[in-house]
Structure 1
């Protein structure tokens, strides 16, 4: 298992690199805002660095048990500090914190709980500020538009917050209101390419096309600022999954949805932690398969999928169905993009290292003069796909962090492989979805024939579970 200090170190390295770099390039219209946000990251890293120095001094003469205790205390304090600071910052920096919170699942429980707050609730804006956005976008105060309006939000996240309301016809709706000025904060962060390059370089090391990844994030987050795009994506998914036996997408209310306000059907359901606390084993197993099938169906059939896969975007029901709520950070496959990845994944899943390495060179993912043993390349690239290499596989809570510990270790066993890879942004985003799914299924202890289920979506193989059969019947009725 990855040590808690290494897990915290991955987060700290990413944020530390960002903090150091942002002091250098601050020369455009958003200069003051960028200085303030960069300074906050700098203060965060200074606090964590000072604390780490104290921990090192205290542990110098300590035995192994005491050192582990000190390291765990440092990790917990770091997570609390990161969650507190990033939760207040919102925007791109908070989104990066969400990524960290989701994949670093091997942290101590107290640290994970602190970072988990980035996936759900963050400090909201005032009732007056939310009402002002609604008034500017819809032409009237929320009390005049809705039969009932909850001034206090039910959820708050990186871009906006959600209020519960009732339409004049009696329908209960969720009203997502964008934070005032968040567009400027995000545009400022995205304009500071050096900050983002440093942050993702520290996370991704040299095995990724970091510049391409930053450009992909830039495009996706600019899109996320326009709720009309999210409304179209969600409406498309709602129509695509209408009547589905175990997936529910809330309908959009288009006449009340604008660039900064999104109104959708209200969904009652359990949040992630509440679901984990009350669901029985069978319900958790069914729910795991539902989430897996939804994600794979989106990737391979709809060819458009949520690039922000964390359970704060889901609502869970004790009948084993799941409602998927957030479609702001959506990735659509460009023509030929998925077809470029598929020839690589086929030999990967068949454990054919030579064929996989050859196709990676052809696709430009691996330098032709790499000089590596194909088997080592396969070991590295296939790591996220371990669950699909077995007939049946059980996800564990530490699987994502344990595997990432090896893949993200600059001085680890695969350092030579990292130096020779040039993975495209599309592959990185797909990997992020895989890691996110791995973390969620690990918390559920999900066990199934995942490879055979995956093949239902990749190659139209026949269904292998009752859920697969139910979905096949639904598809046949909608064809």
Structure 2
């Protein structure tokens, strides 16, 4: 990447150009469809959202660094975008091209205060993973221990705040944020906090230590890399190399092993949410690896969400009300979570059908490869569309929903076939 391409002025101009173009498209679309009927307006709006979504994805995808990370985080909050936009910017989650090794070497030496050859016995020039704010290299410590070194791209953190403001302005101008101003403020504050934490590898190192200790005491087969603080800093993070197989490989193992790994994933997430009150909130399959003995390795603790005690109790109460099919109590909790606009509007019979679909994978013998709940959910979506404005994206539930649904798909990839009801009861006991 050429240095001038990442300069603040150049980046600002690119983002400002994108914002101006989006504003023009939005106004032109409104004028062009002033006298159109409702169907024509909807079709035109959908086409405009597709174009704008692609434009955002292409612009942010070119601009390695904080702005691409903003786009990735925004794509995680799919609920706040129309589907056309969410689909386009979801591609930002894919890997970025690597940065030249000379820049990486310079960053490591600057952060750790010595020539690279004096710090590591060996350091692979070619990264084995590259993302929006940094890349990962294999290396060997002076004592021969194999490690991985996560290196943040130079200058990423400095651009963060202005990038976020520009992306927010672009989204506001296109009129696609489906939430009011107050809720937008909360959402973008959460995005800003998340970005700030991901850019500080010292925070990730603390997260790794906390989660490693927590899980070691509960289940030694949940494996979390160890931090080497003498080889780490705010922008460099050195971790033990924990080898495992991909989710695709693990899906070919026998059903008993697959079920053990699936249970381990579900239990770990539940224990984090309900007991630790902090959870790993990036369920991308690439953040997990598996071993034939049923062990699960969890990588990348840059994205961690902390839950208040009140919120955890609210979630438990909501789960219990859901299991009892108590619609009035469910709605009370959804209102308190800012997830429901109006009580009594969504039909009771649809609630009942949704509850059956949502609880099926956790309360019955369920073949995740068959994925019946998802297929029935697609049918229910069509029946529920006209009531969709009854529900709102809530900052308190967005990351929880995203993480749970992400792990649901991980269990599908693992082809788990099990009855998880006992695990569900263990994590959120019914009130007797």
Q: Quick check: TM above 0.5?
A: yes
Partner of 1:123: 97
User: Could you tell me whether the CA contact under 8 Å between 1:153 and 1:163 is conserved in 2?
Assistant: yes
1:255 lines up with 2:230 in the alignment: yes
The root-mean-square deviation of aligned C-alpha atoms, in Å, is 3.9
Which of the numbers 228, 233, 239 marks the counterpart of 1:264? Answer: 239
TM-score, scaled relative to structure 1:
0.68
Query: Matched residue of 2:292: which SS?
Result: coil
Q: What are the residue-to-residue correspondences of 1:360-375 with 2, within 5 Å?
A: 360-361=334-335, 364-367=338-341, 370-375=344-349
Which of the numbers 111, 114, 121 marks the counterpart of 1:147? Answer: 121
Unaligned 5+ runs, structure 1: 1-28, 45-74, 101-110, 462-479
In structure 1, distance between residues paired with 2:134 and 2:282: 15
Partner of 1:18: none
- Cα 1:152–1:297 change in 2 (3 A) is same
User: Could you tell me whether the CA contact under 8 Å between 2:19 and 2:173 is conserved in 1?
Assistant: no
In structure 2, distance between residues paired with 1:200 and 1:445: 40
TM-score, scaled relative to structure 2:
0.75
User: Could you tell me whether the CA contact under 8 Å between 2:18 and 2:59 is conserved in 1?
Assistant: no
Map Cα deviations across residues 264-323 of structure 1 (whole Å, 9 max, x no partner). Answer: 1111122334444x5344433322222112111111121110121111111221222111
Partner of 1:19: none
Comparing 281-290 with 302-311, greater Cα deviation is found at 281-290
Query: Matched residue of 1:327: which SS?
Result: coil
Partner of 1:33: 11
- Cα 1:363–1:161 change in 2 (3 A) is closer
In structure 2, distance between residues paired with 1:319 and 1:85: 41
Partner of 1:456: 426
Partner of 1:156: 130
1:323 lines up with 2:293 in the alignment: no
Map Cα deviations across residues 95-143 of structure 1 (whole Å, 9 max, x no partner). Answer: 445777xxxxxxxxxx9xxx88945x43111101111111121112322
Query: Matched residue of 1:190: which SS?
Result: helix
Deviation at 1:216, TM superposition (A): 1.8
Partner of 1:283: 257
Partner of 2:327: 353
Aligned residues: 382
User: Could you tell me whether the CA contact under 8 Å between 1:87 and 1:94 is conserved in 2?
Assistant: no
Partner of 1:230: 204
User: Could you tell me whether the CA contact under 8 Å between 1:146 and 1:167 is conserved in 2?
Assistant: yes
In structure 2, distance between residues paired with 1:446 and 1:251: 29
Partner of 1:395: 368
Deviation at 1:83, TM superposition (A): 9.1
User: Could you tell me whether the CA contact under 8 Å between 1:92 and 1:190 is conserved in 2?
Assistant: yes
Q: Which has the higher contact order (CA 8 A, sep 6+)?
A: 1
